[in-house]
Amino acid sequence: MSVALALTVQDKDTLRSAAYGAVSLMAAADAVAGKPHKAATHGCLALACATGPVGHVLAERTRIKDLGGASAAALADQVLPALAAAMDLLNQQSPAAAADFRGTVLIAVEAAARAHRGEPGPVAAAMARRIADALGAV
């Protein structure tokens, strides 16, 4: 059963910025390992596999603005509140869609964290916890 979402262009931008921003944060955290592009690739591929209404929003080919923070801290200042805003927006319309978004982002974060075929390092694990907290995942 598909859930219909009434999302504005701005709402969709918020969802995409939050999801892809989470992957960008994981790539920034993976810079310690020296290959952030691997984390970004694995995370983005996971987002590309999303299904349902959330998958349709994430698959739209629009430019995501302002994800090029000068530092991980600047990026986190933007992305973590966007994740919380996305969850609030989706919870108002459909708790099922909110759960789907949370699960999709957490899978992408895990894919990014394990890009090097092992357990994530302490920096990536800490970033994953911050993202999960922003999503309200317990």
pLDDT at position 92 is: 93
Q: Is residue 86 part of a domain?
A: yes
pLDDT at position 3 is: 62
Q: Is residue 4 part of a domain?
A: no
Q: Is residue 28 part of a domain?
A: yes
- Among 20, 60, 58, 55, smallest CA distance to 41 is for 20
pLDDT at position 138 is: 53
Q: Is residue 62 part of a domain?
A: yes
Alpha-carbon gap, residue 96 to 32, rounded angstroms: 36
Q: Is residue 37 part of a domain?
A: yes
pLDDT for 94-106, tens place per residue? 999 999 999 999 9
pTM: 0.90
Q: How many residues does the chain have?
A: 138
pLDDT at position 137 is: 67
Q: Is residue 3 part of a domain?
A: no
| Residues lower than pLDDT 50 in the chain | 1
Residue 94: which domain range?
9-135
Q: Which amino acid is at 21?
A: G
Q: Give how many domains the chain has, as a whole number.
A: 1
Q: Is residue 2 part of a domain?
A: no
Q: Is residue 1 part of a domain?
A: no
The sign one gets for the Cα dihedral 15, 98, 59, 107 is positive
